[in-house]
Amino acid sequence: MINFIERIKSYSKRKDAADMAIRAWKSANEEVYADFCKRIDAVAKGNMSVLIDMYQMMRDCTPPEALIMYNWLSDFVNGKGVSGVENQQWASQYTETIARCITNKCLWIGINVKTGAVELLTSPKSGQLMVHSETPIEIWNRLPQELRSYLIGQLDMFMRNSKGCYLLSKLERKMVYQCLTYISQIVFLSHAVFIGEFMANLYDRVMEKKEDLAYCMYYFVVFD
């Protein structure tokens, strides 16, 4: 099984290999990287073209279905009209998979980060990124106590300052927390199912198309 914790443990070895490949690329493409740095410096003068290119590359790697979901979520959070949502599935073809995973806590969602394939499994499968309905809660429980206390305090403050929420009883606030937990499960799993396709698209740009921008971004962030 590959879960988030195990991926973190193996991160150093994979990063070292990636660093070597990026350094080799930079040595062979000094002029390309120098031009990228000039474009980065131009940002301070108001030229945002390189940032637009970087954003566009990430957007191009994001599955269209995920973009629909993120746009809907953004509109919902910002109070914009979301009346068309009844005609859409929350996570496209993965909506039923997510629903079954949430309602049956024994089920897992397996994501192949190389091919983008998503499976609904009864047990963890080797070589895949595995998530289930309790993963967001497990991540929350692993956060430092100070951070959890801070986030809870901020949420309490938000509720006290929100119209209609400051009159809620302790039991009612607990119910709100439970509702937020349920929503976080849906959002987390909906995001997770698109990771594989996003990574597959990014891998294609880096390894197959040898896109200079991706290499420049990596070297600039890690080494410069």
Q: Which of 132, 128, 135, 133 is nearest to 110 (CA)?
A: 128
Which range of 81-85, 112-116, 120-124, 136-140 scores highest in mean pLDDT? It is: 120-124
Average per-residue pLDDT in the chain? 78
- Write the Ramachandran bin of 116: left for phi over 0, alpha for psi from -120 to 50, otherwise beta: left
Q: What share of the chain has pLDDT > 70, as a percent?
A: 82
Antiparallel, parallel or unpaired: β 118-121 and 108-111: antiparallel
pLDDT at 11 over 80: no
SS (H, E, C) the chain: CECHHHHHHCHHHHHHHHHHHHHHHHHHCHHHHHHHHHHHHHHHHCCCHHHHHHHHHHHHHCCHHHHHHHHHHHHHHCCCCCHHHHHCCCCHHHHHHHHHHHHCCCCEEEECCCCCCEEEECCCCCCCEEECCCHHHHHHHHCCHHHHHHHHHHHHHHHHHCCCCCCCCHHHHHHHHHHHHHHHHHHHHHHHCCHHHHHHHHHHHHHHCCCHHHHHHHHHHHCC
The answer, yes or no, to whether residue 8 has pLDDT greater than 70, is no
Find the mean pLDDT for residues 104-111.
Answer: 86
Q: Phi, psi (5° rounding) for residue 121?
A: -125, 155
Position 83 scores a pLDDT of 56
Q: Over the stretch 16-46, which tens digit does the pLDDT of each residue have?
A: 777 788 889 899 999 999 999 999 999 888 8
pLDDT at 140: 79
pLDDT tens-digit map of 167-179 = 667 777 777 777 7
Q: pLDDT tens across 49-77, in order? A: 998 998 888 888 888 878 777 777 777 66
CA dihedral 185, 186, 192, 193 (to 10 degrees): 140
Angle (nearest 5°) at CA 152 between 147 and 157: 125
pLDDT of residue 34: 94
CA 113 from centroid of its chain's CA atoms: 13
Q: Is 70 exceeded by the pLDDT of residue 214?
A: yes
Domain map of the chain by residue range? Answer: 4-132+195-222
